[in-house]
Amino acid sequence: MNDNSEKFTSLDYFQAATMHMGKRDPATALAVTIEGLEHYPENAKLLCMGVKSCIAQRYLDEARLYMDKARSLHIADALVHETYADLKLMEGSSGKAVSAYRQALKLNPDNDGIQAKIDHARVKMNRIKPLHGQRQQKLAFPEEMEKAGRLERDGEKDKAEDIYRSILRRYPEHVEAMRRLAGIAGSHRKHSDAEVFLKQAVKIAPDYVRAWLDLSVVQLDLQEFEQAIVSAQRVVELAPDVAETQLALGNAMARADRVSEAAKAYRRALDLAPGHEGAFSGLGQQLKTLGRQADAIAVYRESIASNPRNAEPYWSLANMKTFRFTDDEIKAMESLVEDRELEELPRVQLCNALGFAYEGCGDFEQAFAYFQRGNEKRRESETYDPQETEAATDRQITVFNTQFIEKHEGQGEADPAPIFIVGLPRSGSTLIEQILASHSQVEGTHELNDLAYTVQSIPLQRREDRFPQNLPGLKPHLWSRFGKDYLQRTLPFRDGAPRFIDKNPNNFIYIGLLHLILPNAKIINARRYPLDSCFGSYKQLFARGQPFTYDLTEVGEYYIQYQRLMDHWHEVLPGKVLDVQYEEVVADLETQVRSILDYLELPFEQACLDFHQTERAVKTASSEQVRQPIYSSSVDLWRNYESHLDELIEVLQPLLKN
């Protein structure tokens, strides 16, 4: 290719080298690759081809040189991770190979061959023991299994499911067909069905690591936390030297609120795979939850040092709210956010982190520019319909009128244990929770989703109905049953205190239902000045949910509907809900604490005033803020951005005080 090298693109060189590799001529492939790298020295595909052609000739030292350069330049490239895994496998480091293959699969889930490489690497580790009938099973219906896999990837899961079921009718012990059926069931949120398939798979093949791993994930979806931990522990037993298995155990422990144990599992994962981004993220989150701020910061910075192109640790640091970036960190983020190869989510995370970085420096113009840039990009990927929010509010107001409530009162579960803290995000709910969780009779959990699950379990009378239109025909005994169902669902998060807190802010939607299924539950509405509440939400990049927060008009309109519904609850359920104003708590903590405790019918305890000294796990974005004494710097923070908030102010005008 020398005579016409100036005419060749990097792809031409790569394809030519690939052709020679296909002819089992790695020496010529390497020569072509070297020539290509003279013209394109940083091309990821050519660097990886250099590694592969060297591996084929057992030139491992040379392969490492190409690999080191590829990883330093293209750490987010799936091919780089896959090639690195190939090299690690050749070197005998099967555990590191599996971890790298996993990362490649995460970056390129459509690469069918990577899973086969993972399985091969695990066999080489001698961690997946021979199964009864394993050889026959691997050979059973390969063409049908491959066809079903293609159908799944193309989104035709129903057709794939038919094939898997057909295979199982002929070969009832085909555990891979069971595992894939479980995956389809899980994608349809039929987690109980998925669990049945996976339990049968591990019964037939007790050493099948992937089935145990999938079973642990499904059990987490079902909130069967202890069972999920047992399944994850089995995964670790089968493959103790693979970082992903420790990660699975860490995830199960974290979901079960066994925070210290989760941190240990994530640390073991990092020992096995020192640059594992998921393990860094998990460990940092657990340390933050435990209040070990300095350790969490160190882990996030270690993650950045391991992969400077990873945006998530920057966002995690910003999300601590009390953290301040160095000038060098800000410069690094500004450089990275302009990288054209960066994917959408990392760019949004960096914009959010830079917004908080400049806010901390007092440069509110620059801060808003980054908040706005990140939110505009995030809004493109969110699905939110303001009209549906208004229609949902209409349905609540229509169904839960005074007559309906009077008709069904007294039929719910009388247990007084639950304390619901509702409202909108960034309105002081975590502060109220921390105050109350400092009381000897109250247990803080976190933002539970159990009430929403209970709502979903209420049968529809007609297919076209939407909640709460399915309630008028409900039989009297079911009100109590649904109350008991909620209490049963929350048991895994409770340790036996007389009262417990559910701090899911979205539960304000269900106050009417709560009154009927749990009539003795207490409900606190965390309120904040509308502009601070809405702009606080706008600044917050949520991991999931709250899709209305990424547009100033939409967040303002959502607040209007929230206030409209809260006004309705106060009208039809007078005295049921206690409004707690954030600004009043900040201005006079003791008076507000005594008022809250009186409403809850609890005696005053000094610990509630000393809430910042309470040692407990706090998972929300305000975790570091509530570990400090009360402060007022967040009051009227919106004024620093007032020149940019005209549309929000206009929407909220009817609710703003002069």
More confident call, 343 vs 233: 233
Asked whether 262 and 282 are in contact (CB, 8 A), the reply is yes
pLDDT of residue 132: 37
Interval 382-392 mean pLDDT: 93
Interval 517-525 mean pLDDT: 97
Q: Mean pLDDT highest for which of 65-69, 114-118, 397-401, 453-457?
A: 397-401
Closest CA to 304 of 293, 317, 285, 294: 317
Q: How many CB atoms lie within 10 A of CB 110?
A: 8
Beta strands (DSSP E) in 408-448 are: 418-423, 442-444
Asked whether 503 and 443 are in contact (CB, 8 A), the reply is no
Q: How confident is the model at residue 77 (pLDDT cuts 50, 70, 90)?
A: confident
**Mean pLDDT score of the chain, rounded to an integer?**
88
Q: How confident is the model at residue 3 (pLDDT cuts 50, 70, 90)?
A: very low
In terms of residues, how long is the chain?
658
pLDDT > 50? residue 65: yes
Share of the chain above pLDDT 90, in %: 60
More confident call, 23 vs 232: 232
CATH code given to domain 2-124: 1.25.40.10
pLDDT of residue 131: 38
Asked whether 349 and 311 are in contact (CB, 8 A), the reply is yes
Interval 583-601 mean pLDDT: 95
β-pair type (442-444, 577-581): unpaired
pTM attached to this predicted model = 0.74
Q: How many CB atoms lie within 10 A of CB 624?
A: 17
The whole-angstrom separation of Cα 599 and Cα 141 is 66
pLDDT > 60? residue 130: no
pLDDT > 90? residue 520: yes
pLDDT > 60? residue 627: no
Tokens 């020149």 sit at which residue?
643
Interval 76-101 mean pLDDT: 85
Specify the amino acid at residue 210: R
Of 246-250, 338-342, 553-557, 564-568, minimum mean pLDDT range: 338-342
Which residues 6+ apart lie within 8 Å of 639 measured at CB?
Answer: none
Burial of 127 (0-12, 13-18, 19+ CB in 10 A): buried
Q: What angle do CA 211, 216, 222 make, to 5 degrees?
A: 125
Whether 2-124 shares its CATH topology with 387-631 is answered no
pLDDT digits (tens, 9 = 90+) for 168-208: 999 998 999 999 999 999 998 899 999 999 999 999 999 88
The whole-angstrom separation of Cα 26 and Cα 29 is 5
Interval 53-66 mean pLDDT: 86
**DSSP assigned state of 573:** S
**DSSP assigned state of 206:** T
End-to-end CA distance of the chain: 77
Interval 4-32 mean pLDDT: 82
More confident call, 565 vs 96: 565
Q: How confident is the model at residue 626 (pLDDT cuts 50, 70, 90)?
A: very low
pLDDT of residue 617: 53
Q: How many CB atoms lie within 10 A of CB 172?
A: 11
The whole-angstrom separation of Cα 360 and Cα 23 is 59
Of 132-146, 322-336, 422-436, minimum mean pLDDT range: 132-146
The class level of CATH for 311-381 reads: mainly alpha
Interval 7-25 mean pLDDT: 86
More confident call, 58 vs 347: 347
Q: At what angle do helices 364-380 and 344-361 cross, to 10 degrees?
A: 160
pLDDT of residue 611: 87
Interval 9-25 mean pLDDT: 88
Asked whether 501 and 451 are in contact (CB, 8 A), the reply is no
pLDDT > 70? residue 224: yes
Q: Where are the domains of the chain?
A: 2-124, 311-381, 387-631
Asked whether 216 and 254 are in contact (CB, 8 A), the reply is no
pLDDT > 50? residue 138: no
Q: What angle do CA 223, 226, 231 make, to 5 degrees?
A: 100
pLDDT of residue 418: 97
pLDDT > 80? residue 284: yes
Q: How confident is the model at residue 48 (pLDDT cuts 50, 70, 90)?
A: very high
pLDDT of residue 129: 39
pLDDT of residue 605: 95
Asked whether 66 and 59 are in contact (CB, 8 A), the reply is no
Interval 306-316 mean pLDDT: 92
CATH code given to domain 387-631: 3.40.50.300
Q: Which residues pair with 422 in a beta bridge?
A: 525
Instruction: Kindly state the tokens that stand for 92.
Output: 């005998």
Interval 100-116 mean pLDDT: 80
Interval 264-274 mean pLDDT: 91
**DSSP assigned state of 422:** E
Buried b vs exposed e over 383-406: b needs ≥16 C-beta within 10 Å?
Answer: eeeeeebeebbeebbebbeeebbe
Asked whether 382 and 344 are in contact (CB, 8 A), the reply is no
